[in-house]
Structure 1
Amino acid sequence: MKRIGVLTSGGDAPGMNAAIRAVVRKAIFHEIEMYGIYYGFQGLIDGTIKKMEVGSVGDIIHRGGTSLYSARSEEFITEAGQQRAMEQLKKHEIDGLVVIGGDGSIKGARALSQRGVPSIGVPATIDNDIAGIDQTIGFDTALNTVIEAIDKIRDTATSHERTYVIEVMGRDAGDLALYAGLAGGAESIIIPEKKHDFADVVMRLKRGHERGKKHSIIILAEGVGEGFQYGRKIQEETTFETRVTVLGHIQRGGSPTAADRVLASRLGAKAVDLLIAGEDGKIVGLKNNELLAQDISDVLSRNHEINEEMYGLSKELSI
């Protein structure tokens, strides 16, 4: 293993830069040349590849986003696109690859692995939707962003005695909504993994109002429905004054928390260790606070599951 390439792909997540830094410096520590691939798999196809030194990743550990930039590539999904990517790897004499991103990015790492390029996936997505892994890079930062917003909105909800629907990210996974809802004291948490019972949401609101509660917070994952439509439906059914806040892409940005910086540093360094050890087609992650390397195909064959105990607790505490 003489040269390693690193790229970030898909949606950005706080902590990606910390992971890039760890990969680059770990490799250079072991006297391996490092190459940064800009703009994800599309940049790999186009040959947007530059050699990286220790100073290339200086002063980025605290920054959100990704210094290698990111782009989605429809071309890479095709046979021709993957062949062009292989040609670029061969041209730059890159022996192994570290791919930082979500499930789509990890699938890209598997595709290159199957073509003979040793590849390791590092899970980075605010959705926290990778099976068999406790937490992905970026989740903790996004969670704290959502909680801060909930706390501020609750001040206004209390002052004006309103019901608020807060729409958070999560098309297919409800971890962000669930954790934020539990930490923020939401009355109802609506996520894709659980069948939505609108009557139960209304009942909880009315029951709270009857005992003198003047405001309520409902957390809605975007994969379940559109926030403004849901807010109108709540107001029509309850007659309670209802407002809606869609947090949107503010959840992706910001300086990563200490937890995300540490996680990213550990996973990035572990990815290099695996390549040095001759491993291939693996994804690194934490399980019960231990670093594990699992087969990418095995991880992708399973669905991420919601924490049932936590979901049940959120129901019990929001009576």
Structure 2
Amino acid sequence: MEPKTIKKIGVLTSGGDSPGMNAAIRAAVRAGFYYNLEMYGIYRGYEGLIQNDIKKLDSRYITHVLERGGTFLKSARSAEFRTPEGRSKAYENIKAHGIDALVVIGGDGSLTGAHLFFQEYGIPSIGLPGTIDNDLSGTDSTIGFDTACNTAIEAIDKIRDTATSHDRLFFVEVMGRDAGFIAINAGIGSAAAAILIPEKKMPIDHLVDKLKIRSKAKKSSNIVIVAEGGKSGGAGEIAEKVKKFLPSYDIKVTILGHLQRGGAPSSFDRLLASKLGVAAVEGLLQGKYDVMAGLINNKVVYTPIKKAIIDDKSVDEEDFRIAKILST
């Protein structure tokens, strides 16, 4: 497709929020101003696009947002946008505002929406990988992943204090419905006794044997990290199974949940979001449509959205091997 003349760009955040989304919005808007473009904020994601919740942005909107978690544009999941009728309403609102292109910040569902919109109406769009799960290919890290790992490790460090004081076995559940990136990183970073992730199934008897060995070695605390989408079940379910084999253990379960989504973004996520926000605007001006901007080996790359969503991205086997060595 020949590059279109782009004068107005809309920015939206969709799906689950992640630390660094505000930094990405800020970078895209500032880049737009640099290139003399009009920038529009679309509130509440695709739902706001349907409901015409769209405002022209100026510098006031992006002052002191770099350091804030969440997204000032707010986010929502839109069942209506999944329908042709919903996307038709959204398109009419885009036309009414004269918006020429979109920057969509979110996970696989959000990027899928941008892809459909481009396929059906030809609206140029670039996606930015805004998800703590780190499950999109085409980028080494997604916006918010580093902060989520830091938050998880900080919480686990605190849990270890009480685990050590009472000789307790803790099962800590972290986010990662289909991908174990947070679990493996938090597990290595917090010296976990074992890590259970969706990509690999660990039989309960293997986990029990591992815990018995650590007990004989007189380890003062045991913390098992469980990704919420683990093949062996959630933290609560696994704890119940282990209790049957180790009835004498004082077992506790902590689910970190949405704690991992909040907080000020780390310096890494601020830098990543800033680079990708600028890359999104510059990519659109260069005629790069229906792609996701990512960072690989510290270089900006543009990956077709369909490929970024479909291609499997799983935990590095080397990380898993290192975790196994360090937990013995």
TM-score, length basis structure 2: 0.96
Q: Once the 2 structures are TM-superposed, how far is the Cα of residue 264 of structure 1 from its aligned partner?
A: 0.3
Structure 2 SS opposite 1:31: coil
Q: Once the 2 structures are TM-superposed, how far is the Cα of residue 301 of structure 1 from its aligned partner?
A: 2.4
Q: Which moved more, 1:31-40 or 1:286-295?
A: 286-295
User: In the alignment, which residue of structure 2 is the partner of 1:113?
Assistant: 118
Distance 1:90 1:289 in 2: 36
User: In the alignment, which residue of structure 2 is the partner of 1:263?
Assistant: 272
Residue 254 of structure 2 is aligned to residue 245 of structure 1: yes
Mapping for residues 72-87 of structure 1, pairs under 5 Å? 72-87=77-92
**Kept after mapping to 2: 8 A contact 1:132/1:304:** no
Q: Once the 2 structures are TM-superposed, how far is the Cα of residue 109 of structure 1 from its aligned partner?
A: 1.0
Q: Once the 2 structures are TM-superposed, how far is the Cα of residue 238 of structure 1 from its aligned partner?
A: 1.5
Structure 2 SS opposite 1:217: strand
AA at the equivalent of 2:35: H
Consecutive unaligned residues in structure 1, runs of 5 or more: none
User: In the alignment, which residue of structure 2 is the partner of 1:41?
Assistant: 46
AA at the equivalent of 1:218: V
What CA deviation, in whole Å up to 9, does each residue of 1:35-77 have, x standing for no partner?
0000000000110000001221111000000000000000001
Mapping for residues 138-153 of structure 1, pairs under 5 Å? 138-153=144-159
Consecutive unaligned residues in structure 2, runs of 5 or more: 1-5
| Partner residue of 1:197 out of 195, 198, 203 | 203
Structure 2 SS opposite 1:286: strand
AA at the equivalent of 2:57: M
User: In the alignment, which residue of structure 2 is the partner of 1:102?
Assistant: 107
User: In the alignment, which residue of structure 2 is the partner of 1:308?
Assistant: 317
Q: Once the 2 structures are TM-superposed, how far is the Cα of residue 214 of structure 1 from its aligned partner?
A: 3.2
AA at the equivalent of 1:247: L
User: In the alignment, which residue of structure 2 is the partner of 1:210?
Assistant: 216
Residue 301 of structure 2 is aligned to residue 292 of structure 1: yes
AA at the equivalent of 2:198: P
Q: Once the 2 structures are TM-superposed, how far is the Cα of residue 297 of structure 1 from its aligned partner?
A: 1.5
| Partner residue of 2:287 out of 268, 278, 301 | 278
**Kept after mapping to 2: 8 A contact 1:132/1:287:** yes
Residue 75 of structure 2 is aligned to residue 93 of structure 1: no
Mapping for residues 43-62 of structure 1, pairs under 5 Å? 43-62=48-67
| Partner residue of 2:139 out of 133, 140, 165 | 133
Q: Once the 2 structures are TM-superposed, how far is the Cα of residue 81 of structure 1 from its aligned partner?
A: 0.8
Q: Once the 2 structures are TM-superposed, how far is the Cα of residue 298 of structure 1 from its aligned partner?
A: 1.9
AA at the equivalent of 1:190: L
Distance 2:214 2:94 in 1: 61
Q: Once the 2 structures are TM-superposed, how far is the Cα of residue 113 of structure 1 from its aligned partner?
A: 1.4
**Kept after mapping to 2: 8 A contact 1:131/1:305:** no
User: In the alignment, which residue of structure 2 is the partner of 1:155?
Assistant: 161
Identity %: 51
Structure 1 SS opposite 2:128: strand
AA at the equivalent of 2:153: I
User: In the alignment, which residue of structure 2 is the partner of 1:236?
Assistant: 244
Q: Once the 2 structures are TM-superposed, how far is the Cα of residue 127 of structure 1 from its aligned partner?
A: 0.5
Structure 2 SS opposite 1:279: coil
Aligned residues: 319
Structure 1 SS opposite 2:98: coil
What CA deviation, in whole Å up to 9, does each residue of 1:64-101 have, x standing for no partner?
00000000000001111111111111111000100000
Distance 2:62 2:323 in 1: 41
| Partner residue of 2:21 out of 16, 23, 43 | 16
Structure 2 SS opposite 1:151: helix
Structure 2 SS opposite 1:25: helix
Structure 2 SS opposite 1:17: helix
Q: Once the 2 structures are TM-superposed, how far is the Cα of residue 246 of structure 1 from its aligned partner?
A: 0.5
Structure 2 SS opposite 1:245: strand
Q: Which moved more, 1:251-260 or 1:296-305?
A: 296-305
**Kept after mapping to 1: 8 A contact 2:146/2:268:** yes
